[in-house]
């Protein structure tokens, strides 16, 4: 496909702009974690706890507490109602139709029964990821996704100072059945609608790894397909590990199965996974973008974390982009990371945690009709989020 160029931006930050951006950006650059900050009111731990005999209400939010070792259950009107220990520095999470949540932590993939709010297992990684630590560059699981039939879990595992691995988990046996090499720091994992392919978005190597979902148990006589790497770098790869202009989170477009990757509130990459080519469409938020999700009607939600260069870029925001490319940019107060949307599409929930410094312990609740925003306390440095 022909690539359509948008306005260019400098790939490598000056020392001054890097220092200014450090307080509001996450998952990019090469700096270590800075001091924590919290600007949201409310307790980090739940003030009240539902009795374990009480079934979790439908519509409850589940967030991964990257600053702790828990997931927090959040009433979307009142705030935290319970928490469950899952493992250090939980990052992404995925929830199946059966109500089981799969949480990628530094220690393994935790399995949580969300109905009764109890951890039922934690599956160790087959890959050596070094000491169990916290922070942006910690080893262990990052992006995570479920197969459409719920039989397999796919988790992107970060291996510090090296390429990552996609680990495939049998959901019934609760064990790793296969590992596949991918790129560096697999921020996000998606699955095609038919379940035949898995896509690992590799932040530090500027690419997406396409993995065939061949089952080694059912196809022993058939050679496994090799993973296929597709470079996705609409700004180029200059700056390498020090560049901010890398792919982060992704979403599969329901209409045609193409992968959507927002960059900097300026460019939306629409990746054809069959050909490895992509188009670039214009975006309007002009801010560093991370979390993304798409609803069944094709509406894309993209989280703006804040400016790379405060002198040239806009602040945090949520972009709501319809399938025909029309955008509304809703300003947010302070840094944010990921997003989930209510079943009726009327409300977006945007987490205030970060992989780096500058986070806050809460969620912005956005009315998608009128653009109004209210803040809700939620866990500790919440990253991944799902609506139960």
The model's pLDDT over 180-217, given as tens digits with 9 standing for 90+, comes to 999 999 999 999 999 999 999 999 999 999 999 975 44
Q: Which of 134, 72, 57 is nearest to 103 (CA)?
A: 72
Residue 74 has pLDDT above 70, yes or no: yes
Q: How high is the pLDDT of residue 242? A: 85
C-alpha dihedral over 251, 110, 344, 43, to 10 degrees? -110
The model's pLDDT over 129-180, given as tens digits with 9 standing for 90+, comes to 999 999 999 999 999 999 999 999 999 999 999 999 999 999 999 999 999 9
User: Order of strands across the sheet with 79-85?
Assistant: 79-85, 70-75, 61-65, 382-387
**DSSP letter (8 states) at residue 324:** T
Could you tell me which residue, 354 or 34, shows the higher pLDDT? Answer: 354
pTM for this entry: 0.88
Query: Average model confidence (pLDDT) for the chain?
Result: 87
Say if residues 183 and 204 touch (Cβ distance below 8 Å).
Answer: yes
3-state secondary structure of 16: helix
Say if residues 204 and 250 touch (Cβ distance below 8 Å).
Answer: no
Predicted confidence band of residue 12 (pLDDT cuts 50, 70, 90) = very low
Residue 112 has pLDDT above 90, yes or no: yes
Predicted confidence band of residue 358 (pLDDT cuts 50, 70, 90) = confident
Say if residues 13 and 294 touch (Cβ distance below 8 Å).
Answer: no
Domain residue spans in the chain? 15-387
Fold classification of 15-387 (topology level): Methylamine Dehydrogenase; Chain H (2.130.10)
**DSSP states of 88-100:** SS---EEE-TTSE
Q: How high is the pLDDT of residue 94? A: 98
Rounded CA gap, 131 and 344, in Å? 42
The residue-averaged pLDDT of 88-106 equals: 98
Cα torsion 33, 247, 351, 309: sign: positive
Say if residues 280 and 6 touch (Cβ distance below 8 Å).
Answer: yes
Residue 24 has pLDDT above 50, yes or no: no
The model's pLDDT over 236-247, given as tens digits with 9 standing for 90+, comes to 999 888 899 999
Q: Which of 10, 23, 144, 165 is nearest to 87 (CA)?
A: 144
Say if residues 359 and 37 touch (Cβ distance below 8 Å).
Answer: yes
Predicted confidence band of residue 41 (pLDDT cuts 50, 70, 90) = very low
Predicted confidence band of residue 356 (pLDDT cuts 50, 70, 90) = low
Residue 17 has pLDDT above 60, yes or no: no
Q: How high is the pLDDT of residue 224? A: 64
The model's pLDDT over 289-320, given as tens digits with 9 standing for 90+, comes to 999 999 999 999 999 999 999 999 999 999 99
């Amino acid at each position: 496909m022909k690539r359509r160029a948008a306005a260019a931006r400098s790939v490598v930050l000056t020392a001054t702009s890097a220092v200014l951006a450090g307080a509001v950006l996450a998952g990019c650059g090469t700096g270590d974690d800075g001091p924590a900050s919290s600007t949201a009111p409310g307790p980090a731990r739940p003030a009240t706890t539902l009795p374990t005999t009480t079934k979790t209400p439908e519509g409850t939010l589940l967030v991964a507490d990257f600053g702790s070792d828990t997931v927090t259950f959040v009433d979307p009107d009142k705030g935290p109602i319970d928490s469950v220990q899952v493992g250090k520095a939980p990052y992404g999470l995925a929830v199946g139709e059966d109500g089981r949540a799969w949480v990628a932590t530094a220690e393994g993939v935790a399995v949580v029964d969300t109905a009764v709010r109890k951890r039922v297992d934690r599956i160790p990684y087959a890959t050596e990821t070094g000491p169990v630590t916290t922070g942006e560059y910690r080893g262990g699981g990052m992006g995570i996704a479920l197969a459409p039939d719920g039989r397999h879990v796919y988790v992107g595992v970060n291996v510090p100072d090296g390429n990552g691995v996609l680990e495939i988990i049998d959901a019934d046996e609760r064990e790793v059945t296969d590992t596949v090499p991918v790129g560096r720091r697999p921020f996000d994992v998606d699955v095609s609608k038919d379940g035949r392919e898995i896509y690992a978005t590799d932040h530090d190597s500027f690419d997406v790894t396409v993995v065939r979902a061949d089952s080694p148990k059912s196809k022993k006589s058939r050679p496994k397909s090799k993973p296929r790497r597709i470079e996705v770098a609409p700004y180029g790869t200059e700056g390498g590990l020090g560049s901010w202009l890398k792919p982060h989170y992704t979403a599969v477009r329901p209409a045609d199965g193409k992968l959507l990757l927002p960059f900097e509130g300026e460019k939306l990459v629409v990746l054809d996974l069959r050909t490895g080519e992509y188009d670039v469409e214009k975006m309007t938020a002009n801010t560093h973008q991370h979390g993304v999700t798409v609803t069944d009607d094709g509406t894309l939600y993209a989280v703006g974390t804040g400016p790379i260069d405060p002198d040239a870029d806009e602040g945090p925001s949520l972009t709501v982009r319809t399938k025909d490319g029309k955008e509304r940019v809703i300003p947010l107060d302070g840094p944010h990371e990921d997003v989930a949307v209510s079943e009726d599409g009327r409300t977006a929930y945007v987490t205030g945690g970060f992989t780096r410094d500058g986070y806050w312990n809460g969620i912005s609740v956005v009315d998608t009709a009128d653009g109004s925003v209210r803040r809700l306390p939620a866990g500790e440095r919440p990253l991944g989020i799902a609506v139960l």
